[in-house]
Amino acid sequence: MIRQKDRIAKGAEAIIYRGSFLQTPIILKHRLPKIYRLPQIDKTIRLQRLRAEARIMVLAWKIGAHVPVLLGIDFANRTLLMEEIQGELLFFIMNTAPLTKMKSIFKDIGQEVGLLHKNDITHGDLTVFNVVINKENKPWLIDFGLGQVSVEREKKADDLLTFYSTLKAISPDFQDLFDLFKHGYFGMYKKGRKTFEHMKKIQSRARYIAREDRLE
């Protein structure tokens, strides 16, 4: 028996409800219609995203990554049912937890992302709002709506850059924390050093473009 309870979040693409399934806490992620799209096209796009997200979650779960277990798909309502990871978003933990606690968390996040990349899975939106830290202080990745299966170094480097950029925006310790993340990432994924080199290339490309813009 599935029960839908309170609404906990509303993002650009989805509304998230908390609920229960056989007494287990679950999350229902309902993809919203976009009014600016033609209804028939909108239905198709939401269905594709729903399928893609479900597929990536299952693939990630199969390789043993810390991701919520997918419990079901309600195609008619464009809704995913998944395990609720009980804990707090990384963003909020970073505001309250001491740096020493953050250090081991960041190394673990690096390992998780390394595991995905080693298996050619990219997250697509690796921000501090898409990592939940559970009660044992272990990181769980959520929100695979933009995830892909890809061998492309550029896509993997994009994950690193997104993570680095959001860290830089919110923490004065971003460099130390990112170094720990890298440590975990390289430990899990030997080719990860190449991904990191590629991330630096993208960064300098962006800096170059910004400079060109200023000259105009």
Ligand X SMILES: Nc1ncnc2c1ncn2[C@@H]1O[C@H](COP(=O)(O)OP(=O)(O)OP(=O)(O)O)[C@@H](O)[C@H]1O
Compute CA distances 163 → 42, 113, 179, 184, whole Å: 30, 10, 12, 14
The reply to whether 14 sits near ligand X by the rule CB under 6 A is: yes
Residue 170 interacts with ligand X (CB under 6 A): yes or no: no
All residues at 6 or more sequence positions from 155 whose CB lies less than 8 Å from its CB, including other chains: 122, 124, 148
108's contact among ligand X, Mg ion, none, with CB below 5 to 8 A by partner kind, is none
Q: Which does 122 bind (CB under 5 to 8 A by kind): ligand X, Mg ion, none?
A: none
Please state the closest distance from residue 84 (CB atom) to ligand X, in A.
4
Report if residue 147 touches ligand X, rule: CB under 6 A.
no
Q: Minimum distance from CB of 29 to Mg ion (Å)?
A: 10
Would you say 142 and 180 are in contact if contact means Cβ atoms under 8 Å apart?
no
Please choose, out of 108-116, 138-146, 168-176, 196-204, the segment that lies near ligand X by the rule CB under 6 A: 138-146
Q: Is 216 helix (H, G, I), strand (E, B) or coil?
A: coil
Total number of residues shown for the chain: 216
In the complex with ligand X, which residue's Cβ is closer, 56 or 177? 56
